[in-house]
Structure formats: C-alpha cells, structure tokens
C-alpha cells in the first residue's frame, strides 16, 4: 500500500511542476543535440554539379550529370546544414575540350572537388562514372517546302497558282550529328478545310529535337491563289530505257488525272508532259509481273496530280 501511495503522490503534480519537468526534458534534449552536433561525422551528401564550356561552340546532346554524391567527413553542424540543402556549394568543372570527354571516372575528381566544398573533407566519391555527350554546334541552311496534303477546298475550288514559301529556307543550328542527319528539305505541314479564298498562313518550322536545334526563322509564310478548278484526263507518253530481252512493259503511255485552274484549261493541254519509269530489273523474278508507278516530269506549278495509273512489268 505504501508503494502505491508513493506512486500516486508522484503523479499528482500540479501544472507548475509539469511545466518545470517539461523544461528540464527540453533542456536535456537541447544539450544532447548540441553536444552531438559538435562532433565529427562521415556521411554521403549530394552536391549540384555544373560543367563550364563555350556554349556558343558546343552543345550537350544528352542531359549532363547534374549532381555528384560524395562521402564526406565534417562537423555535425556543417553536415546538418548541407543535408537540409542550406548553402550547398555547387561543384564546377571546366571542360577545355568538351567533345573529347566522353566519360569521366569520378574518382579522379577528388582534387577538384576538395577545393569547392568548404570545410568538409572528401573521404571518397560515391558516384562511379560521369558520362558526357557534347558535340560541336554547327549551322546548316535547309530548303522549306509546303505540304498541302491536309488541305481541303470548297466544291469546284482549288489551288490556281504556284505555292510560295517566304522565306524559302531556314537556318538551323545545333549538334553536328543531329544537323547532318536532317534531309535536304523540311516539309511545312499546312492545315485548312473548306478553303474558298486566296490562302496565306504562318506555319511553324518543325524539326526533330526542337529543344536542341535553333531555327531562324521559326515560322514561314505559305501562300497561293484559290479559284475555280477542273479535272483533266490525259494520256502521257511513257519514256524508259530499252527493256532487256525477256522483260515486257505493258504500255507506252499512261492515263493521268490532273486538277487544273479553269482559266488554264487550254494552256495545260499544250504542256509537254512525260513520264519516266526507272527500276532494277533484278527485282523481278522469272514469270513474275510487278506494278511500278512512273515519275511525272514537266508538270506546271499551277496544276496538281490527282492520280497516275501504275505500269505492269512482266519478266518471262
């Protein structure tokens, strides 16, 4: 009984006694924390990484490593601040020949890193290898061509003039491998429906990897006249090299359908059009018949092709 009474008396503190007890616990905790933070510790810390090179001459094709993980030794206060992201120094690396640096073994960076992280000491670098892909920044001028496949016109209306693109070329600048992989022309995808008047629109110049390649200009204007059109069917002469023995081309002219401005009807009938057929005879096996689509030459800029018949070539 005496034991239970003693415990009951211990728990029967008034509010003042509980406040005093809480302050004592708080003071003890603060003392312990301060004492612990005054000691030295080793831990892994992440430091932001920045590469320095001439951005006007070189460009990173792939994102560069953005951080370096180090095992460091230092005062508890210093490590706590860095762990919380307070005043974390940025490690800077200068690349004299950036295109030659494909990978960097992180262990070799200790002298560079040690001078940039303040009072902390580097035990070792946790990050294994830094991989870089930097290329020369090169310019290239490429022709712009409008693609009208996504356009539709009101009934009996169509394009009645050549397509004008202003400017007719774009200057691109970016990583050498990407610039050299581009084709000789860039298609401007023109969109529109039920067009019934002369067309003039600004169209964005779109290239792969837009974020790495600058365009000058980024947009171009596409324009052409719109008016009454009609379909005209013509049989166009087929020209091709003399077929070898055993190969037969079924016809010497091909039926074609064109869309032509009504005002140019008579003029179009006088245009000298030819079709050429070129292919590798070895692609046809003995006894096989293959279809080929001939290429049209001499089409005036005001006209458009609706359909060209294919040509059967047979090998005996």
Q: What is the pLDDT of residues 265-311, one digit of tens each?
A: 999 999 999 988 877 777 778 888 889 899 999 999 999 999 999 98
CA–CA dist 266, 253 (Å, integer): 21
**Are the C-beta atoms of 91 and 116 separated by less than 8 Å?**
yes
CA–CA dist 181, 192 (Å, integer): 30
Going by the DSSP 8-state scheme, the letter that residue 10 receives in this structure is H
CA–CA dist 8, 6 (Å, integer): 5
- Kindly state whether residues 219 and 234 are assigned to the same domain: no
- Kindly state whether residues 25 and 99 are assigned to the same domain: no
Among candidate residues 253, 265, 255, the one with its CA nearest the CA of residue 305: 255
- Kindly state whether residues 238 and 299 are assigned to the same domain: yes
Going by the DSSP 8-state scheme, the letter that residue 310 receives in this structure is -
- Tell me what pLDDT residue 23 has: 64
- Kindly state whether residues 175 and 218 are assigned to the same domain: yes
In sign, the C-alpha dihedral spanning 211, 212, 218, 219 is: negative
Residue where one domain finishes, among candidates 115, 132, 149: 132
- Per-residue pLDDT of 68-93, as tens digits, reads 999 988 886 677 777 766 677 889 99
3-state DSSP assignment of residue 113 = helix
Q: Which two tokens stand for residue 142?
A: 């490429």
- Kindly state whether residues 243 and 306 are assigned to the same domain: yes
Q: Please state the pTM of the whole predicted model.
A: 0.72
**Are the C-beta atoms of 181 and 207 separated by less than 8 Å?**
no
Q: What is the CATH number of the domain that holds 287?
A: 2.170.120.30
Asked if pLDDT for residue 112 goes beyond 90, the answer is no
3-state DSSP assignment of residue 243 = coil
- Kindly state whether residues 268 and 256 are assigned to the same domain: yes
- Kindly state whether residues 267 and 251 are assigned to the same domain: yes
- Percentage, residues of the chain above pLDDT 70: 85
- Kindly state whether residues 45 and 119 are assigned to the same domain: yes
Residue where one domain finishes, among candidates 205, 224, 243: 224
Q: What is the CATH number of the domain that holds 170?
A: 2.170.120.40
Q: Cis before residue 88, ω within 30 degrees of 0? A: no
Going by the DSSP 8-state scheme, the letter that residue 97 receives in this structure is S
Ramachandran category for residue 51: left, alpha or beta (phi over 0 → left; psi -120 to 50 → alpha): beta
- Kindly state whether residues 220 and 235 are assigned to the same domain: no
- Tell me what pLDDT residue 29 has: 58
Counting the structural domains of the chain, the total is 4
Going by the DSSP 8-state scheme, the letter that residue 285 receives in this structure is P
- Tell me what pLDDT residue 120 has: 86
Residue where one domain finishes, among candidates 113, 132, 151: 132
For 305, the domain range is 230-315
- Kindly state whether residues 46 and 108 are assigned to the same domain: yes
């Amino acid at each position: 009984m005496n034991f239970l009474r003693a415990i009951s008396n211990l728990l029967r503190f008034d509010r003042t006694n509980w406040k005093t007890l809480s302050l004592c616990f708080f003071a003890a905790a603060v003392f312990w924390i301060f004492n612990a933070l005054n000691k030295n510790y080793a831990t892994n810390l992440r430091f932001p990484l920045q590469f320095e090179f001439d951005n006007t001459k070189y460009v990173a094709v792939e994102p560069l490593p953005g951080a370096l993980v180090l095992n460091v030794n230092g005062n508890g206060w210093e490590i706590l601040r860095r762990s919380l992201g307070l005043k974390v120094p940025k490690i800077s690396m200068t690349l004299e020949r950036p295109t030659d640096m494909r990978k960097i073994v992180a262990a070799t960076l200790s002298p560079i890193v040690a001078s940039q992280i303040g009072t902390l000491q580097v035990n070792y670098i946790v990050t294994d290898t830094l991989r870089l892909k930097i290329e020369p920044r090169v310019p290239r001028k490429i022709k712009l061509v409008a693609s009208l496949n996504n356009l539709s016109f009101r009934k009996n209306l169509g394009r009645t003039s050549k397509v004008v693109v202003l400017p007719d070329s774009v200057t691109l600048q970016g990583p050498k491998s990407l610039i050299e992989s581009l084709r000789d022309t860039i298609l401007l995808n023109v969109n529109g429906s039920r067009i019934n008047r002369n067309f003039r629109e600004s169209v964005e110049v779109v290239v792969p990897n837009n974020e790495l390649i600058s365009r000058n200009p980024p947009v171009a204007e596409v324009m052409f006249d719109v008016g009454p059109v009609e379909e005209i069917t013509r049989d166009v002469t087929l020209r091709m090299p003399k077929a070898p023995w055993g190969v037969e081309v079924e016809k010497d002219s091909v039926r074609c359908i064109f869309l032509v401005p009504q005002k140019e009807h008579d003029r179009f009938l006088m245009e000298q059009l030819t079709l050429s057929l070129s292919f590798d005879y070895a692609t046809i096996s003995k006894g096989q018949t293959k279809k080929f689509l001939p290429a049209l030459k001499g089409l005036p800029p005001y006209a458009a092709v609706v359909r060209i018949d294919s040509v059967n070539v047979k090998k005996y």
